[in-house]
Structure 1
Amino acid sequence: MDSLSIKYLLIGVVTFGFLFEKTLSYLNIKRPLTSIPKSLEEYLSVTKLKEAKTYQQVNFRFGVISGLFSFTLTICLILLGVFGWVDEWLRNIISHPMLLSLAYFAIIFICSDLLSIPFDFYHTFVIEEKFGFNKASKATFFSDKLKGYLLSIIVGGGLLFLLLYLIHQIGKDFWWQFWIISAIFMVMVNLFYTAWILPFFNKLKPLEDGELKQKIVNYTEKVSFPLENLFVIDGSKRSSKANAFFSGFGKRKKVVLYDTLIEQHTPEELVAVLAHEVGHYKKRHIILGMTAGILQVGLLLFILAQFIYSKNMSFALGGNEMAIHLNIIGFTMLFSPISMVLGIFMNMISRKNEFEADAFAKETYAGEPLAEALKTLSINTLSNINPHPWYVFVNYSHPPLLERLKKLER
């Protein structure tokens, strides 16, 4: 394809992605209020149901405004050739190709993040604050930003350096070598995330001795799941929303419970939530998910290798000569439809895995406390209990609440 055709293709892909996403969101938000299901009558009032709908509408309008800003800016950058102008300006300062690419991505990252700060700030301190979710101070907000920049420079910059080095030194075969590096990195992150990265933002402490810990120990012994690393994270410093997650495998496996989760649930419900997480481990969902992620990265890199030396891609973005960094920018736009399809497929697998983990918790512990925990979590976070089926199909990594309750309470 010539550069002009690629330019229009980029505009078409970006436009399609924006319209597709916002159309689904519109269908979801226009879904009428449902009557309160019998299984939620003790938890959900009409007032709470209307509040949840209002929360979803406010987030929808915010998403339209922020998304429209990002979409319009991207289209303007493509049409006006700004991506290419930045490349030409940097070439007058930097001659080394790798340093040129690193400087280019640094400028794009900084500008992109600075533009997103007002939207992030508004969402945190206006929307989340209004509905009682935000617990973060402004100091914490900006501290997180600075820490994020530092991690991006160290980790993201290091990976980007290796990618650019392989591209410049090896040629099109760079993809499978960087794929190996990426796979090792993904495994390392899974193993050491809670030990190396998470403490950068949050405090982790071992779960204290008491009724909850004893119940958890009794359960894990019953299902032959030796667990030495059980931590509580101070999630309440940023949000009142609760969560729990599992990371690592082998001797480095860890279960992390948010302090907000412990505050909002009974010990029985917390053990049921833990049983669900153990189910993911026992069913090998974590290993399979990581494998799928590694395969996706391999596919992405292979396709990138076909575009990486395209002069017309660089010209389409306003460049005067072939530039690796311009081609990577263009590729990320063109890859978005493939990424969306892969995302849909991964969400389908994830929803299946959630049902399996629920079933494991029901079989090895009890279904009722897990159902109670899911109800509390959903109501407290003002979740949509009646989402549009197409929105669920594309975006939901977890099944809707009522579907999970139907299976648990069967």
Structure 2
Amino acid sequence: MFLTAVAVAIIAAFLLDIWLSRRQIRHVLAHQERVPSAFRDAVSGEDHRKAAAYTVAKQRFGMKRDAAGAVLSLLLLVGGGFAFIHSTVTTTVGTGYLGSLALVAAIAIIGSLVSLPFDYVQTFSIEEKFGFNRMTRRLFFIDLAKSVALAILFMTPLVLAADYAMRQLGSWWWLALWGIFVAFNVLALLIVPTFIMPLFNKFEPVEDESLKARIEALMKRCGFRAKGLFRMDGSKRSSHGNAFFTGFGPSKRIVLFDTLMERLTPDEIEAVLAHELGHFKLRHVLRRVVAYFGLSLLVLAFLGWLFRERWFYEGFGIDPAMARDMPLTGMLLFFLVFPLVSTWFRAIPNYVSRRHEFQADSYAANHARAKDLATALVKLHRDNASTLTPDPIYSAVNHSHPSAAQRIAKLAT
């Protein structure tokens, strides 16, 4: 009965995603021949059809990825795959700290082996077909090797710390684990911009003095300080453009993709950055971090209760006594099951995120020109082949940003 419920949950989550994807495909194809009136002067029929074809291709490919993920979940949770891996690890490596590392590594490797072919095809088939990919196969595998090395470097001490807390700190281990989790995330905010990201991309100070002066004046008007303004060689991997703020405290910096700097005017870049500054000044970033940490505390508290329940382990074919000897077992099982529940609530954070986007747009309109932000949005959607006509229900569930039409209409009011 327990495994039947888990199987139903896996299939239901998969069918939800398939239903949403099919809605998106039908809606985009139904509107591919007609450019929305607000964009007719800026987006050609050819660009609009390309965006529709790109969106549909990604959705259909995403459905295949979702199917592979559902099959993997069924094999691990319902088909006894996790129990088999757990038994093999405990028998050959033991139930100590090394066994915990081996169990985590085995699950991570299996997940990566399923994901890797999809990442490869996404890059060298879909992205390449639509003219966005600039990554070589050599660079793809170099990035992969770096990512694996970084995962080992950072996840090994994190796993060992979590395992130690669960073994040694009694029934309140989950609170200690939450503290470790918070500390790790804060550390990541500090070191990722300055040590990790430069391993993958080149960051150079922006040399355009006029643009620098404009951005520095904007930051002064907004009361914002950053460690530096950098140009990133995003074109090495993709022709998609972007701009973002990253870091925390002394590592805070503004980053512009070189592709973005090539396509937008200085006025438009200023408006885009004013939008990003709006997220900081309106405390959206802080609120999200606090909400993220608060939710993680609740999840770990629930896990602290579930950790003591025999039925949770027995339902997946694992001896509770053996699971107590290797306490990380319960955490891994829980985080394999958790997405089956959380997927039904993803519309909530996306709704909040879309509200924040409107607020940041409003902030940008007060500190730059709304017209420049609107034209930048049009260019970014056109050049990135983002559909201008998403399905409303699909968008409500899956999109963290409002559609370009919604944002531009709001800026015009």
TM-score band w.r.t. shorter chain: over 0.9
Residues 249 and 328 of structure 1: CA distance in aligned 2, closer, same or farther (over 3 Å): closer
Query: Is residue 84–residue 320 contact of structure 1 (8 Å, CA) maintained in 2?
Result: no
Deviation at 1:369, TM superposition (A): 0.7
Q: 1:378 aligned to 2:385?
A: no
Deviation at 1:209, TM superposition (A): 3.6
Matches of 1:196 and 1:298 in 2, distance apart? 28
Q: 1:7 aligned to 2:6?
A: no
Percent of aligned pairs with the same amino acid: 34
Q: 1:29 aligned to 2:25?
A: yes
Q: 1:120-151 deviations in whole A, cap 9, x for unaligned?
A: 11110011000011111111111111111111
> Which stretch of structure 1 is more off in the superposition, 218-227 or 370-379?
218-227
Q: Give the letter aligned to residue 26 of structure 1.
A: R
Q: 1:210 aligned to 2:209?
A: yes
Query: Is residue 134–residue 239 contact of structure 1 (8 Å, CA) maintained in 2?
Result: yes
Q: 1:273 aligned to 2:276?
A: no
Deviation at 1:192, TM superposition (A): 2.9
1:394 pairs with 387, 393, 397, which one? 397
Deviation at 1:250, TM superposition (A): 4.2
Deviation at 1:255, TM superposition (A): 1.0
Q: Which residue of 2 aligns with 1:142?
A: 141
Matches of 1:167 and 1:47 in 2, distance apart? 58
Matches of 2:224 and 2:331 in 1, distance apart? 44
Matches of 1:250 and 1:73 in 2, distance apart? 40
Deviation at 1:314, TM superposition (A): 2.5
TM-score normalized with structure 2 length:
0.93
Q: 1:17 aligned to 2:20?
A: no
Matches of 2:173 and 2:335 in 1, distance apart? 17
Q: Which residue of 1 aligns with 2:64?
A: 65
TM-score normalized with structure 1 length:
0.94
Query: Is residue 85–residue 319 contact of structure 1 (8 Å, CA) maintained in 2?
Result: no
Q: Which residue of 1 aligns with 2:190?
A: 191
Deviation at 1:36, TM superposition (A): 1.6
Deviation at 1:242, TM superposition (A): 0.7
Query: Is residue 104–residue 332 contact of structure 2 (8 Å, CA) maintained in 1?
Result: no
Q: 1:245-282 deviations in whole A, cap 9, x for unaligned?
A: 11234444211111111011111100111111111111
SS in 1 for 2:272: helix
Q: 1:71-130 deviations in whole A, cap 9, x for unaligned?
A: 123213333312111121222212243322210110111122122211111110011000
Matches of 1:226 and 1:77 in 2, distance apart? 48
Q: 1:283-323 deviations in whole A, cap 9, x for unaligned?
A: 11111111111112112211111222433322332334542
Deviation at 1:204, TM superposition (A): 1.0
Where structure 1 has 5 or more consecutive residues not aligned to the other structure, the ranges are: none
Q: Which residue of 2 aligns with 1:126?
A: 125
Aligned pairs for 1:21-170 (under 5 A) are 21-31=17-27, 32-33=30-31, 35-170=34-169
Matches of 1:325 and 1:14 in 2, distance apart? 23
Deviation at 1:342, TM superposition (A): 5.0
SS in 2 for 1:172: helix
Deviation at 1:56, TM superposition (A): 1.5
SS in 2 for 1:232: strand
SS in 2 for 1:231: strand
Q: 1:230 aligned to 2:232?
A: no
Q: 1:35-71 deviations in whole A, cap 9, x for unaligned?
A: 3223211221222212111111211221122221221
Q: 1:339 aligned to 2:331?
A: no
Query: Is residue 275–residue 360 contact of structure 2 (8 Å, CA) maintained in 1?
Result: yes
Please identify runs of 4+ aligned residues in structure 1 that moved more than 6 A.
Answer: none
Where structure 2 has 5 or more consecutive residues not aligned to the other structure, the ranges are: none
Residues 15 and 227 of structure 1: CA distance in aligned 2, closer, same or farther (over 3 Å): same
Query: Is residue 241–residue 380 contact of structure 2 (8 Å, CA) maintained in 1?
Result: yes
Q: 1:408 aligned to 2:411?
A: yes
Residues 116 and 338 of structure 1: CA distance in aligned 2, closer, same or farther (over 3 Å): closer
SS in 1 for 2:93: coil
Q: Which residue of 1 aligns with 2:178?
A: 179
Q: Which residue of 1 aligns with 2:245?
A: 246
Q: Give the letter aligned to residue 195 of structure 1.
A: T
Residues 30 and 378 of structure 1: CA distance in aligned 2, closer, same or farther (over 3 Å): same
SS in 2 for 1:95: coil
> Which stretch of structure 1 is more off in the superposition, 238-247 or 340-349?
340-349
Matches of 2:210 and 2:38 in 1, distance apart? 28
> Which stretch of structure 1 is more off in the superposition, 341-350 or 169-178?
341-350
Residues 263 and 371 of structure 1: CA distance in aligned 2, closer, same or farther (over 3 Å): same
Deviation at 1:358, TM superposition (A): 0.6
> Which stretch of structure 1 is more off in the superposition, 50-59 or 373-382?
50-59
Matches of 2:286 and 2:345 in 1, distance apart? 18
SS in 1 for 2:92: coil
